[in-house]
Amino acid sequence: MKHIVTLTLSPTVDKSTSVDHVVADQKLSCDEPKFEPGGGGINVSRGLKRLNVNSVAIFPSGGLTGQRLQDLLKEERINQQPILTENMTRENFIVLNREVQEEYRFGMPAVELLPKEEREILSVIRNLSPKPKFIVVSGGMPPGSSDDFLAKVARIAKQDDAKLIVDTSGEALKNAVEEGVYLLKPNQSELSKLTGIEVKDQATVEEAARQIIDKGKCHIVVVSMGPDGAYVATKDFSEMVEAPQVQKRSTVGAGDSMVAGMVYALEKGFDLRQMVRMGIACGSAATMNSGPELFKKEDVERLYQGMLGKAR
């Protein structure tokens, strides 16, 4: 049976806490910290698990932090295939200031990926058995990774008849699109850089997305527009879908949750309208929780059903 594989090239352990207030030059008494696995594809795997769909998370892992990351994934019963690296996996830090309900996110520098480690990741993907149905690449590209790395992943996906879903940025994204992907999920800024069109409103979002579709390099483009929702386009279909109104507490992992929702929908055979709404429901539900918690399934189901009702 074919399965879902996620690839995270810049994973992290997310450490989060809360304080009553933030004051410079004083020792701040923090709550007990929470440790959670993080990074684009890893969060997609975690989101899929919350929706009762299993996947295999592939990621580089180094040092004590890398081992902590593997242990955290085991606790969440995420299938994993770590590639051991010389450099230690990074750790991010998130602090909630309770006084004003503001969240501070401290992202540590991405860890360099060595050429031999990149080759090993490609070898692991090439030799997966059984062959995957979906390969989901999500998150930033680390220093040391080659610009054509995702293009190589795209070629493997073609050979294996796997659907490649990409949510990243930069030259690696451009090269992957040139090779061909199944689904692309840029935000407005990434879409601007990818197409050269200044994306500033729905009309320019449609123009830029159509440019990618018309080149025949991508089957589905879903443009994330934050609290406004998302625009979805294929060769024969397009729609702007509004996001539901929710009480936002944190945006950590919201984009990855959206990808998880869409992959879940594709796996279950949903149509495009249902797919994008499930993605938005997962992304919106993730913002309702503090720190890197992702979403609760019951929130997703409520938001999704509400969006379906409006669409009728």
Domains of the chain: 1-19+30-145 (3.40.1190.20)
- In DSSP terms, 49 is beta-bridged to none
E strands within the chain? 4-7, 12-19, 34-38, 56-61, 79-84, 90-97, 102-106, 134-138, 163-167, 181-184, 218-224, 230-233, 238-241
Q: Are 79 and 2 in contact (CB under 8 A)?
A: no
Q: pTM of the prediction? A: 0.93
256 annotated active-site: yes
Give the model confidence (pLDDT) of 157-196 as tens digits. 999 999 999 998 888 888 888 899 999 999 888 889 888 8
Produce one character per residue of 34-72: b if its CB has 16 or more CB atoms within 10 Å, e if not. Answer: ebbbbbbbbbbbbbbbbbebebbbbbbbbbebbbbbbeb
**Bigger pLDDT: 250 or 34?**
34
What is the distance between the alpha carbons of residues 308 and 277, in angstroms, rounded to a whole number?
A: 8
What is the distance between the alpha carbons of residues 285 and 305, in angstroms, rounded to a whole number?
A: 13
Q: Within a 10 A sphere around the Cβ of 175, how many other Cβ atoms?
A: 17
Whole-number pLDDT of residue 162? 95
Whole-number pLDDT of residue 251? 79
pLDDT band at 311 (very low <50, low <70, confident <90, very high): low
Q: Is 294 exposed, middle or buried (0-12, 13-18, 19+ CB in 10 A)?
A: buried
Statement: residue 2 has pLDDT above 80: no
Produce one character per residue of 92-131: b if its CB has 16 or more CB atoms within 10 Å, e if not. Answer: bbbbbbeeeeebeeeeeebbebeeebbeebeebbeebeeb
pLDDT band at 66 (very low <50, low <70, confident <90, very high): very high
Whole-number pLDDT of residue 59? 97
% pLDDT > 70, the chain: 98
What is the distance between the alpha carbons of residues 158 and 89, in angstroms, rounded to a whole number?
A: 30
Statement: residue 1 has pLDDT above 60: no
What is the distance between the alpha carbons of residues 73 and 69, in angstroms, rounded to a whole number?
A: 6
What is the distance between the alpha carbons of residues 225 and 218, in angstroms, rounded to a whole number?
A: 19
| Mean pLDDT estimate for the chain | 91
Of the candidates 156, 155, 164, the one whose C-alpha atom is nearest the C-alpha of residue 133 is 164
Of the candidates 280, 299, 281, the one whose C-alpha atom is nearest the C-alpha of residue 289 is 299
Give the model confidence (pLDDT) of 81-98 as tens digits. 999 999 999 999 999 888
pLDDT band at 291 (very low <50, low <70, confident <90, very high): low
Produce one character per residue of 235-268: b if its CB has 16 or more CB atoms within 10 Å, e if not. Answer: eeebebbebbeeeebbebbbbbbbbbbbbbbbbe
Reading the block at residue 101, the tokens are 């309900």
Statement: residue 215 has pLDDT above 90: no
What is the distance between the alpha carbons of residues 166 and 18, in angstroms, rounded to a whole number?
A: 33
Instruction: Give residue 11's identity as a one-letter amino acid code.
Output: P
pLDDT band at 253 (very low <50, low <70, confident <90, very high): confident
Return the H-helix or E-strand segment holding 48: helix 40-50
DSSP state of 228: G
Whole-number pLDDT of residue 115? 95
Q: Of 160, 167, 256, 299, which is the active-site residue?
A: 256
Q: Within a 10 A sphere around the Cβ of 302, how many other Cβ atoms?
A: 14
Q: Are 191 and 207 in contact (CB under 8 A)?
A: no
